[in-house]
Chains A and B, each alone.
Chain A
Amino acid sequence: DAGVTQSPTHLIKTRGQQVTLRCSPISGHKSVSWYQQVLGQGPQFIFQYYEKEERGRGNFPDRFSARQFPNYSSELNVNALLLGDSALYLCASSIGTSRANQPQHFGDGTRLSIL
């Protein structure tokens, strides 16, 4: 079975631009979460979506937004890019949000570089 897939793999943008990152969850998984991993740090939670509704949001500015589609895939959008947005963006999927012990399965991420 296919794992979590993310696209693109790498992306280079300049300050002020906008970017859209895409994620397809594992088949049968209804929950998608997004994390930002700055070099040398652990991932930081950005958003969680379940059944197309936002179920959780981390401490990120309103420049960050996301949505989930009927097929459970998801997009993360970042507007007005800053140099500090350079990071690896990870998508994770799980069966659902009702239980904290359900493991999340991660994709390989999108490496975003801001010039």
Chain B
Amino acid sequence: GDSVTQMEGPVTLSEEAFLTINCTYTATGYPSLFWYVQYPGEGLQLLLKATKADDKGSNKGFEATYRKETTSFHLEKGSVQVSDSAVYFCALSSNSGYSTLTFGKGTMLLVSP
């Protein structure tokens, strides 16, 4: 079945540091890929998405590229801020299903001033 594997956290960075959160997936067919962010006490917010190989999703300085050859969708940001502290979830939606999401376990990011 479909699955998503994320790097374990927490990831602890200083403000303005470079961020990478690794995500790899297993799926049949050609899934759509997503990154969601969850702030404390809140639900999930869609951060970015990519729907086909080599697509790059981007939003608020975050980027991720759909790499079919390595089945990866790593999240990057060139300069993190304290306000980026949250839990980040990588997810896929299989084109063979009903667009339901399969999530990774999440990676907590802590950014200090």
Contacts and interface: CB of A to CB of B under 8 A. Distances in A.
A33 B103 CA distance: 14
A56 B100 CA distance: 8
Given A43-B44, A43-B103, A106-B45, A97 B98 contact: yes
B93 interface: yes
Given A103-B34, A103-B46, A43 B99 contact: no
A100 B99 contact: yes
B46 A105 contact: yes
Contacts of B100: 33, 45, 48, 56, 58
A7 interface: no
Contacts of B44: 43, 90, 92, 106
A15 B105 CA distance: 27
Interface residues of A, number: 31
Nearest to B99: A100
A95 to B, nearest CB: 10
A101 B97 CA distance: 11
B32 A101 contact: yes
B102 A106 contact: no
B98 A56 contact: yes
A33 B104 CA distance: 18
Contacts of A97: 98-99
Contacts of B46: 103-105
B43 A45 contact: no
Given A100-B95, A101-B32, A42 B105 contact: yes
A-B complex: 9 closest residue pairs judged by Cβ atoms? A42-B103, A101-B51, A101-B32, A106-B43, A100-B93, A56-B98, A106-B44, A108-B43, A100-B95
17 contacts: A4-B43, A31-B99, A42-B91, A42-B103, A42-B105, A43-B89, A45-B102, A58-B100, A92-B101, A98-B99, A100-B94, A100-B95, A100-B99, A102-B99, A103-B34, A103-B46, A103-B49
Interface of A: 4, 31, 33, 35, 40-45, 48, 50, 55-56, 58, 90, 92, 94, 97-109
